[in-house]
Amino acid sequence: MTIPMAPAELYRHGLRLLLEKDIPAWVELWDDNGVLEFPFAPEGWPLRLEGKAAVGAYMRHYPDHVDLHDFPHVEIHQTTVPERIVVEMRGVGRLVETDSPFDMTYIAVVTVKEGRITSYRDYWNPLAVSQPGADFVGANR
């Protein structure tokens, strides 16, 4: 019997998969009924994706838009709920279409049960999408 990864370990594994551009493997970290939320999403962008299939469809073309190079800052905080972590992080790379720099900070609240992501609230900066060359998730809307 395999012991499921702890939330912090699973999250770090997921970041490695994103850097490797292995979106199918990243999606496999999700529970079938997992929910991805973007509480600060601007108008016209999804606020909530329900289920692994919806998350997979949303993320499928991410590497075609953002070429992630590194997560130079990742700080994971354990909460009083063992299954939940709060992550402060920064992702850097380049926007594929414009070849301009990509630099985004995030705060994420992630819940993992039985080794699968069941809830992920992604608090990214919506002001970044109004900057020149920042339509990095536009095709995912």
Average pLDDT of the segment spanning 34-49: 93
Asked if residues 89 and 75 have their Cβ atoms less than 8 Å apart, the reply is: yes
Residue 114 makes CB contacts below 8 A (sequence gap 6+) with 4, 31
CA neighbor of 35 nearest in space, from 24, 47, 23: 47
CA neighbor of 7 nearest in space, from 88, 87, 125, 100: 87
Core vs surface per residue 2-25: b (16+ CB within 10 A) or e: eeebebbebbbebbebbeeeebee
pLDDT digits (tens, 9 = 90+) for 77-126: 999 999 999 999 999 999 999 999 999 999 999 999 999 999 999 998 87
Angle at 39 between CA 73 and CA 71, to 5 degrees: 15
Residue 132: the pLDDT is: 45
Q: Is the pLDDT of residue 5 over 80?
A: yes
Q: Can you name the CATH fold of 7-133?
A: Nuclear Transport Factor 2; Chain: A, (3.10.450)
pTM: 0.88
Grouping H, G, I as helix, E, B as strand and the rest as coil, residue 96 is coil
E strand map for the chain = 30-37, 48-50, 66-78, 84-95, 100-113, 116-124
Sole residue written with tokens 């493997």: 25
Tokens of 110: 């992630």
- Which of the four pLDDT bands, split at 50, 70 and 90, describes residue 1? low
